[in-house]
Structure 1
Amino acid sequence: MKEILIHSEFIKLDQFLKLADCVPTGGMAKALLQDGAVKVNQELEERRGRKLYPGDLVEVEGCGTFQVAAK
């Protein structure tokens, strides 16, 4: 599992996917979510705007497992 540091209270899921280098664009993030390839805290997630907070776990099919961490 890899930690991804954020510098604010929360980060939106589509921004997080770009920060974690799972997708290069927001459009690709949307497609990944619609394909059912992303889980947040072990639950399937399809909302690009889902707010992630430190401690949340994000699993991305084909990319890995990440934990949101605060700076």
Structure 2
Amino acid sequence: MTISFAVRGEYIQLDQLLKATGLTGTGGEAHSAVEAGLVRVDGHAESRKRAKLRPGQTVSFGSETVVLVAAA
């Protein structure tokens, strides 16, 4: 499933995105998922829990894909 997420401001941190979209329930779960190599950004495994993500990027976690768009 693909989720479209509007980024307010310049960027959102990866751990915050995972929580905001409901892909993880807590920040700890988000950090664990990133540390385990389960999160991909633009097709590449991301190891930085607080990576700054900007509109136009995609995040994959499990069977979910999040497409970042600019907030109107």
User: So what's the TM-score if we normalise by structure 2?
Assistant: 0.91
For 1:70 and 1:55, the matched residues in 2 are separated by: 8
Matched residues, number: 70
The secondary structure found in structure 2 opposite 1:46 is coil
Long gaps (5+) in structure 1: none
Alpha-carbon RMSD: 0.9
Once the two structures are superposed, residues 23-62 of structure 1 have per-residue CA deviations (whole angstroms, 9 ceiling, x without a partner) of 1111111111111110000000011110000000000014
* Structure 1 runs of 4+ with >4 Å offset: none
For 2:22 and 2:62, the matched residues in 1 are separated by: 13
For 2:68 and 2:53, the matched residues in 1 are separated by: 7
For 1:9 and 1:56, the matched residues in 2 are separated by: 13
Q: Percent identity?
A: 33
For 2:30, the aligned partner's letter is A
Long gaps (5+) in structure 2: none
